[in-house]
Amino acid sequence: MPDTKKFIENLSGAGKCIGVLTSGGDAQGMNAAVRAVVRMGIYVGAKVYFIHEGYQGMVDGGDNIKEASWESVSSMLQVGGTVIGSARCKDFRTHEGRLHAALNLVQRGITNLCVIGGDGSLTGANLFREEWSGLLDELVQSGEISEEASQIHSALHIVGMVGSIDNDFCGTDMTIGTDSALHRIIEVVDAIMTTAQSHQRTFVLEVMGRHCGYLALVSALACGADWVLIPEMPPKDGWEEQMCYKLSENRADKKRLNIIIVAEGAIDQSNKPITTELIKDLVVRCLGFDTRVTILGHVQRGGTPSAFDRILASRMGVEAVLALLEASPGTPACVVSLCGNQAVRVPLMECVQMTQEVQKAMDEKRFEEAVRLRGRSFENNLNTYKLLSHRKIDSELPHSSFNVAVLNVGAPAAGMNAAVRSAVRVGITEGHTMFAVSDGFEGFYKGQIKEIKWGDVGGWTGQGGSLLGTKRTLPAKHIDKIAEQMRIHNINALLVIGGFEAYLGLMELQAARSKHAELCVPMVMVPATVSNNIPGSDLSIGADTALNAITDTCDRIKQSASGTKRRVFIIETMGGYCGYLATVGGLAAGADAAYIYEEPFDIRELQSNVEHLTEKMKTSIQRGLVLRNENCSENYTTDFIYQLYNEEGKGVFDCRKNVLGHMQQGGAPSPFDRNFGTKIAAKAMQWISKKLKEFYREDEGRVFANTEDSACLLGMRRRALVFQPVVQLKDETDFVHRIPKEQWWLRLRPLMKILAKYKTSYDVSDSGQLEHIVRLRAKDISAI
């Protein structure tokens, strides 16, 4: 970390020209990345050029390379695919083609390239960079450029962003487009489940992933599929009988349908392809089940980008421009990537080599090595899937004689049910008896506690809300009755899934341990709230689903506004005092402003926002979008802001307001929330098992846990899942406003302002740290 802070104001792009292109297969979110590069480039004073049709446009030149303006990227954010076009280019693979491309760039003064594509596109860019000085020498010799031009443009800087729906690139947790592709897959699976249920059918689904099983694996986790086949982990010999046994066992357990997910590149131990037809024939022949095949194909590439992909691509685009501004002739070509929730830069060729190593390991049948090389996220997804999917017969289970209770507390959040399912199944696998508490702490003191078995949580991952029932009631007033219920049911550990009330509740239970020995058991909380306001965790279950609901609604509203022209919408979001949904939703929807409690504002700021929108109405973008967090100000209410904008904008624009309300809490959970809920709850249950062994007193025959670290919150911090004693989180909490004192996403606010054309201060001290992929792996081995 640098000692001195570094601000965007001190970085200038004056005199620099940046070319942006999308290459290879398209991916949702590429447009958001292009928009961010263009706007950030213009913001710092550089000229930015679109290079249409990928490398083909670079080779052909002419109108394919056009200067971009601020307005030219308006309305791109919500569009799937790539507006500037992409093409597979044979010419660029030839020396002659690259010579043409170099000439076209030098003629326009472009020496900075931002390439958005897969590993093939990025490898091509690196080769181009290495040949650059040689190409310029050739152009000087043939008289096509002057010696002076060759000197001025002597270094070519390249920054890559990975756009690939397969998530097949090493060095980043998520590539642009992966989350949106998962949305498409899950939408289809959810729809297929209803018809499969009606007819008691088995469905075999083929998803994309010729060399990488990420989409198949995560969608299998997110929908609770019965079986998954991926190229990195071919099934062991005899898998056919095992799979058929699993399918028939599930039917015997009153499950009316089976889902099998196959990556298009799935293979067996002998590297022979496993096709959907082969599986269908197998199921029909062995079990006689009514079986159908669905191949998702290009549906996965299409549609509007998810909120996650828009934010990821916007952050990457801004980071790419910063990397280009800071590049010196000796800087290696880098890729901007995501690690946890941090943007980092990694050397491009290190990533490419690691990606190629995965393929080599698979070709040589070193499959475990291939999984390890894919990275921590892939490995953990696979381990979680294995943990949850194969039900052991009672004789195989360790018998622990411990009872573990699970409850939901606070407001409903999408993904809670996935977390409960995961906790119950992992708990049973670990040998515990699992109990479900209905209606939070209220149900607890009323004794609404019953055993919950493996089959009871089947099909829960895709369900929104809270199937256990949840209430905001805190335990303090009913502590005696809760302790009594703990004794009656002999509860040895607690898993609480919920929001701020769950956090307060855990503190109250811990405080009451001195009076009630029954409460001296391991307790862990998993954060689940749309507001994302829990201290100790950067993310909580449910926030991603809420962001997608906000983004979808804003897209529709923007469409309506651009139809009527000269209209500004004021939209109120949830979140209590936490401005996460308003800020990150604003970034994903392309809002002009977002008012939040954490960043106080006054009438002067409101006035300048109105003036900014008045200026905007003079351009070709004649619509505005303003988000307001529900509690951002006691006096500047949504009505007040609406009336102020209406009055001040008279004759220039008219206003409408919209309160989004509880639609932000509802709906089916997004793939991210299903996956996050599943993984975090599984990790929490494994912690409980460890603590039960640690705190079991042989002599007394009971569990006794009275230390600070036996009541924890499991949260995502930067790049890892961390258990933190709730007592230690007190100092990090603003209890009056129910928010953490420090919130990472506030660093994203300047991005939203820059992309909406506001001059602002932006601390970029975190940028510019080039990390090496090997070091990155070793350091983050304990993360999700």
Tell me which residues are annotated as active site: 166
d(CA 404, CA 340): 30
Indicate if the alpha-carbon torsion angle 347, 353, 356, 362 is positive or negative: negative
Report DSSP letters for 29-50, one per residue: THHHHHHHHHHHHHHTT-EEEE
Q: What are phi and psi of 269, to 5 degrees?
A: -60, -25
SS3 per residue for 368-413? HHHHHHHCHHHHHHHHHHHHHHCCCCHHHCCCCCCEEEEEEECCCC
Strand partners, 526: 497
| Residue whose C-alpha is closest to residue 55's, from 108, 107, 105, 106 | 105
**Radius of gyration (Cα) for the chain, nearest Å?**
27
> Which helix or strand (DSSP H or E) is residue 205 part of?
strand 202-207
DSSP state at residue 326: H
Q: What are phi and psi of 725, to 5 degrees?
A: -60, 130
CB 695 within 8 A of CB 710: yes
d(CA 631, CA 736): 13
d(CA 416, CA 258): 23
DSSP state at residue 708: G
Which residues neighbour 139 within 8 Å (Cβ) at sequence distance 6 or greater?
A: 99, 102, 103, 106, 145, 150
CA distances from 547 to 28, 122, 560, 657 (A): 17, 31, 20, 19
The 3-state DSSP class for residue 321 equals: helix
Dig out the tokens for 104 from the structure.
């076209």
Burial class (CB in 10 A: 0-12, 13-18, 19+), 549: buried
453, HSE (Cβ side, Cα atoms, 13 Å) = 4
447, HSE (Cβ side, Cα atoms, 13 Å) = 6
Q: What is the DSSP pairing of strand 702-703 with strand 696-697?
A: antiparallel
Chain-centre distance for alpha carbon 389: 23
d(CA 226, CA 245): 11
Cα dihedral value 109, 114, 120, 125, nearest 10: 30
The 3-state DSSP class for residue 550 equals: helix
